[in-house]
Amino acid sequence: MKDKVLIWLSQYKASALEEFLQAIKLMPTLKIVEPLIKDQEEALKMYGRYSLGISDLINLSIIKRLNLDGIYTNDKGFLETSIKVVFSELSRESDFQEFLKILEEKGYTIKK
- Tell me the pLDDT tens digit for each residue of 57-110: 999 999 999 998 888 777 788 888 888 887 655 666 777 777 778 777 877 666
C-alpha distance from residue 82 to each of 1, 36, 43, 88, 89 (Å): 18, 21, 15, 13, 14
The full set of domain ranges for the chain reads 1-32, 33-112
Q: How many CB atoms within 10 Å of residue 55?
A: 14
Q: Output phi, psi for 68, to 5 deg.
A: -85, 150
Predicted structure pTM score: 0.65
DSSP structure class, residue 51: S
Whether residue 43 contacts residue 64, with contact meaning beta carbons closer than 8 Å, is answered with: no
Q: Render pLDDT for 9-65 as a digit per residue (tens, 0 to 9).
A: 777 777 777 888 888 888 888 888 899 999 999 999 999 999 999 999 999 999 999
Please give the sequence-ordered ranges of beta strands (E in DSSP) within 2-87, or none if there are none.
Answer: 70-71, 84-85
